[in-house]
Structure 1
Amino acid sequence: MPHEPTPARRSAPPRPSAPPTDTAAMISATPPGTVTLGRLLARAGEAVRVGLPEPMWVLAAVAAAKPARGGHTLELVEAEASGASGQLRAYLPDSAVEALRRVTGHAIIAGHLAGLTAVLQLRCNFDARWGLSARVTALAPGLETSLVARAVEAARARLRAEGLLDRQRQLPLPRDVTRVTVVHPHDAAGWADVAGELRRWAAAGVLTFRSMPVPFEGADAAAGLASAVGRATSSFDGVLPDLLLVVRGGGARAGLAPLDDEGLARAIATAPVPIITGIGHASDSTLADDVSLRTDTPSKALAFVRELIVQPARRARIDYAAILAAASGGVDRAAPRLAATERLVTAEALRHAGVASERLHRNWGAVREAAQQARGQLARLDDALDHIVADVAGVLPLHLGRTTSELAALMEAIRARARRDGDRADDGARHLDVVADRAVSLLDTAATTLLTLGGAAKAAAVAKVARASSELEALTQTVRERSQRHVTSTDDGSRAVATIEAAVAETCRAQLVEILRLLEAIETAVDRRLAAAEAALDRALATLDGADPANILRRGFVLVMDGQGHLITSVAAATAAVDLVLSLADGMIAVRLTT
């Protein structure tokens, strides 16, 4: 038994100093029956022991609860309802509080008794020095409810002050639920229904789940639950789970004590993934419910998960419609601009092509005109050369004929003179020699003149031909240079036209490629979102198919209706109907209630 400390010491009043008297005289003067103070206190202690031999249940208000060695000191005063006044100091050992903790399963704190009106079992004793005091031997049933409420409220206040009470509700919900971990009791009825539904979803390819059974009741349940929550929110095949379900499903209210544990509440509040609780007590809210996403029952927790699974399919349908509308609107809005751009580019290309064609025609006309002029000059030079040759050919016979005639006339004159002057033969012979020499000289002169005239004519003809050839060559070079310039200008125009046409073609091609790329990207995005939406829809349909009433009936449930086909949901309605129809998985049975 722990040591029971004495009540807090009150300072004893100082003994008054009496004037010196004769002690024997004073004793002889006392009235009969006078006792000493020690005797009086001893008799008072004896009276308490005899008069209050057993512990008694006492209704009192706890004004204060202060820690003491091995327990707490309670300042008890009269309850307001009694209308009396009184005060007593009582000692509450830790063993009594620990017994209450074992009964309730909650972490009860003796200090929470302050301010409560309670029924306590007290064993009174009287000390000669410290007066009347008491020891608490038991706490009346029902007091633990108030203590538990105070302990939970204190824990809730600490969590709120640290910002943990609403932390779970601030986490974003997963957009797509594919991995779920469930913490549940061993072989609980609520878990059987949850497991069946999760298995159907897993078979349909909607999600994968992991089961973590753990005790929900007992002395170590709170610590086990906190540890299970920590393990459950760790990696799930290498990644975190999307959701954690904590489900229980029915049971006594007293069995909820571990769920009010502050350590468990902190583990839930600081978890990195959303935690959904389905304890199965709609009217009872635990500390674990306060820090999590609370649902009343395991079936409602599953409904919460089902809604999260179906939401992506709805979003995909909405996004698909929005993508189609945006794509259609974008193409419709771009079509007029593309058509206007095409018309503008085509008109500009035709204008440049027309300008280049006109310039080409002008250059080609100039080339043709220069060629014609060159041909005319060549023809004139050819005619002049023909005239020169003809002149030379006509002059040479005339000169030759005249020279021959003169020579013949001279020879004839010489012969005539020789015949008249026969007498002077020698002189005639000499003269004949002179004449012959002169004739030969004349012949040489004629030949030289003829040759000179022929050479001059020939040189003149050659010079004229050379001049004509030079002029023709210069004209040809001029024509060639002008033609080359015109051809170069024509080539520049052609290249400009080709460049414009190439730029127009490249612009059209780039715009067409961009449009095709955008359409392909839109089609790819639409196909991807549509595929995801169809997959999510298939999973949702599989989920909904799992909730089909016919499937529920195959699990052993019965659908009760009255004779008019109205659903019966209560005993009162069944009693009022009398004639009932029971719908089973393989048919219906008509029954009649008898009292």
Structure 2
Amino acid sequence: MRTVATKIAGWIDRLGSVWVEGQITQLNVRQGTRTAFIVLRDPSADMSLSVTCSPLLIQNSPVQLVEGARVIMFGKLSFFTGRGTISLRATEIRAVGVGELLARIERLRSLLAAEGLFDPRLKRPIPFLPRTIGLITARASAAERDVISVAQRRWPAVRFEVRHTPVQGPTAVPAILSALSRLDDDPDVDVIIVARGGGSVEDLLPFSDEALCRAIASATTPVVSAIGHEPDSPLSDHVADLRAATPTDAAKLVVPDAVAEMELVADLRARSAAALRSWVAREVRSLDMLRERPALADPMSSIVDRRHAEVAEALRVVRRDVEREVARQSTSVEHLRSRLSTLGPAATLARGYSVVQRVVAGSGPEVVRSIEEVPPGTQLRVRVADGAVSAVAMGRSS
């Protein structure tokens, strides 16, 4: 083990001097000592590094070094073989300027935008009337008071699940991430509000943290970002499903106004009733107009009289046509009768002609068509116009 520790110390010693950026989470300067102790934390990850330096370095720093300050330290790493720990012996300390912070935030903004975390199509809709609202804010803060009072004034039945966390400093991001995760897993929470009052760029840095931005974007519950005042715009505003200019505005956006909603319902009810009455009146007028028509005012007299006249006219036309057809057929029959009479045998007999028939025993008379059919002694029947006479054939004559 001693060999391994010695080799690790040699490797770290060969690294030389490095620049390290972080956030001061602990600062310990004791009077009469030659060494000051600092704990430097990575603001985006749960990692920290022990730093030692001369107390004069802290006293002569161009900016006041306090817990929560972002700094850049230059020094050499050392590995203590006895405790197996690594520390940085700092020889220079610089504060991270506002310009540098803004530049880093802008680079992170471009990165998140390129990944699509700001895409409006990914924004989840805020429920119209949430049952329970999750609120992440500082304990006893003005933001908490504003959100709860405004929300309860607008809708007294609203419920809150409040998670108190630091809203600035090195412990803010881990605490907010933990609270966000717990509220997101709670099935009763319909929307989450992350609220904080205004502040400087350094005070609002936790809400531009990459880990927090990604956690907000990946949450399944809609998240409302209400950080600072109108001019403030941390990155959480862009990844959240809804941005509120102030905590008070967040309460107004999430919770509907009961009085306004009741007035809207009353107005819609009045408009619906007026529309229904107007429709009924219009239909009544239409029915009255239909009832005033002659066909509906006295349907039997109008229809029956009209149909009776039509039937009478139809009977007259049918009777006329039948009589006309009977007269025409009667005339035709008379003509045929006249022609038949003219062409019949009675007319011929009347002109002096006769019909000679041979009387055959056992059958009816047969008309004589040839002298060959009448030998002498044949019984004959001679029919003339006014009757018939019997005769006997005496013989043939030329």
TM-score by length of structure 1 reads 0.34
Q: 1 or 2, which has the higher strand percentage?
A: 2
User: Max radius of gyration: which structure?
Assistant: 1
